[in-house]
Amino acid sequence: MEMKTRIKVHFPHQNIVDYKSNIYIADYTTEQTQNKSVKRGVKISTIKPSDIKSFFIQNEKSILFSTIIFDDKSFIDETTGNTLSQCECVCFSSAEYDKGPWVLFLELKYCDIYSKYQKENIEKAKFQLVDTYKYYKQKGIINHKQQCYLVVSFPYFRIPFPNFVITQTDVKNMKLDRVIFRGVNELKIKNEFKLEV
């Protein structure tokens, strides 16, 4: 059963959209529309937005991949009915599931990385990414062959992010689970099974 089908079995309300081009991912939730009557959320576009900085996925080889933007109904606590912690979106290669296509979980943070909340924002992003990864892993949507990337992006910060809140033990454990945690504002799709981050 391919990954799309597994997602639809467990999360039928999640909307899957396919791309074969470069894409830009931006979160308008707090940055652009917090004081406006019409709210916007996360948007994926094949054209670079002119009104907000975004996360860039370069796809020079036109590899087919899928995306899902998460919202407040994507993951619900069955006991309380409350929205669970989650990241902005997931992207995944459309390669054959049993061969281990890559999976990318992305969280965007539109804040000044030099602010006093820097560490808190990175820690929060880490938990949002790990939580979302676990929802898919626990349902068997992600298999043991898939390379997973948990990426936090600070679109207004241009150089490598300092002081990531991830221990060497975390790195080792993630590596055993085929998980890579990074802080970048863009990446490249190398092929159906690997990203360059």
Looking at per-residue pLDDT, the higher value among 91 and 33 belongs to 91
109-127 tens-digit pLDDT: 887 655 656 667 788 888 9
At 135 the pLDDT is 97
> Both ends of the chain: CA-CA distance in Å?
28
Those residues whose C-beta lies under 8 Å from the C-beta of residue 133, and which sit 6 or more positions away, are 105, 142, 148, 150, 179
On whether the CB atoms of residues 102 and 149 are closer than 8 A, the answer is: yes
Amino acid at 86: Q
Those residues whose C-beta lies under 8 Å from the C-beta of residue 108, and which sit 6 or more positions away, are 25, 26, 27, 42, 55, 88, 152, 153, 154, 155
At 57 the pLDDT is 98
